[in-house]
Amino acid sequence: MDVIVAGDRAELDIARGELGGGRLALVPTMGALHEGHRSLIRLARQYADHVVVSIFVNPLQFAPDEDFSRYPRTFQADLDACAAEGVNVVFAPSPEAMYRPDRQVSVSAGPMGAIVEGTFRPGHFDGVLTVVNKLFNLVRPDVAVFGRKDAQQLAIIRRMVLDLDLPIEIIGGETVREPDGLALSSRNRYLSEADRRTALALSRALRAGAAQHGPDAIKRAAGEVLDAAARAEPPLKLDYLALVDPLTFTEVPGDHQGEAVLAVAARVGTTRLIDNITLTAS
């Protein structure tokens, strides 16, 4: 299947007009597509007649000390993957096409953007919401699909849609994992063989926590796995382990009963990884 590639607003409008009627789904990505992204595209096709995939490495969501310049860019391979999955349009703008040089207004993630992941990446979620809101305005989808691996991002996007009355259905796609349990990520390619062995502690910790009952036991079991990984070679350097409400991402109390998200972020070598699991704390 031939994929229409649009590089700016005008080309996107033409491409969108050529699709005709029916429901439209958007799958926002930063490229370097892997099986996790492809699963989101397949999920989007279940909800819509046409699928647009955006490929844009968004500079607003990277801090000066983060990996924007070395973030993997594999555009031709991404196009091939989109064609294989039946994507109708790929929207691949440049930063200049997305952001005016005199840009003044951004979307704020509010208190939700300043906790958990936001504590370690100040301003990150403001950048995410700004680009997602722009993509919603440009593509005008009926439904948008995001991965649950970025659980806090998904929760904050849902909140933006709710608070700003955006007429878009948000769908969360399940995390796709390697056979050894490592959550798929475009950054996994940075891991050496030794790094990867240590990184497997993230998913092991989540499984250990999910096997327990009660918030304290859940965090203790997961923490023991991560403590052991901190003594490995190379060591895992933990940013956070948090058990949070899936809607607000605030920490759940010790007597919490019901659904919760166990989330973890850590560095192995030069690579920062995140992972999470939804569980029932009872």
Annotated binding site for beta-alanine: 61
**Quick count: other Cβ atoms within 10 Å of Cβ 219?**
21
Mean pLDDT within 191-219: 97
Mean pLDDT within 258-272: 96
CA dist 39 → 69, 82, 236 (Å):
27, 11, 29
CATH of domain 188-281: 3.30.1300.10
Annotated binding site for ATP: 30-37, 147-150, 176, 184-187
Q: How far is it, in rounded angstroms, from Cα 83 to Cα 260?
A: 37
Could you report the per-residue pLDDT of 140-191, keeping only the tens digit for each?
999 999 999 999 999 999 999 999 999 999 999 999 999 999 999 999 999 9
Cis upstream peptide for 234 (omega within 30°): yes
pLDDT of the residue at 65: 82
Fold of 4-173: Rossmann fold (3.40.50)
Could you report the per-residue pLDDT of 45-71, keeping only the tens digit for each?
999 999 999 999 999 999 888 888 889
Give me the chain's average pLDDT, please.
96
Output phi, psi for 6, to 5 deg.
Answer: -115, 130
Indicate the domain borders of the chain.
Answer: 4-173, 188-281
Catalytic, 256? Answer no
pLDDT of the residue at 1: 65
Which of 15, 95, 19, 17 has its CA nearest to residue 55? 95
Tell me, yes or no, if the two domains 4-173 and 188-281 fold the same way: no
CB 262 within 8 A of CB 243: yes
Could you report the per-residue pLDDT of 127-150, keeping only the tens digit for each?
999 999 999 999 999 999 999 999
37, 50, 124, 256: the active-site residue: 37
Contacts of 104 (CB under 8 A, 6+ apart): none
| Cβ density class 231-261: b for 16+ within 10 Å, e for less | eeebebebbebbbbbbeebebbeeebeeebb
CA dist 229 → 69, 189, 220, 263, 269 (Å):
29, 20, 14, 16, 13
pLDDT of the residue at 67: 81
Q: How far is it, in rounded angstroms, from Cα 128 to Cα 154?
A: 10
Which of 275, 247, 242, 279 has its CA nearest to residue 260? 279
Annotated binding site: 30-37, 61, 147-150, 153, 176, 184-187
**Quick count: other Cβ atoms within 10 Å of Cβ 160?**
23
Could you report the per-residue pLDDT of 15-33, keeping only the tens digit for each?
999 998 899 999 999 999 9
Q: How far is it, in rounded angstroms, from Cα 237 to Cα 254?
A: 25
Mean pLDDT within 81-102: 97
Q: How far is it, in rounded angstroms, from Cα 247 to Cα 171?
A: 14
pLDDT classification of 282: cutoffs 50, 70, 90: confident
Which phi-psi region, left, alpha or beta, contains residue 136 (left: φ > 0; alpha: ψ -120 to 50)?
Answer: alpha
Amino acid at 178: E
Annotated binding site for (R)-pantoate: 61, 153
Contacts of 198 (CB under 8 A, 6+ apart): 229, 232, 233, 234, 235, 236, 268
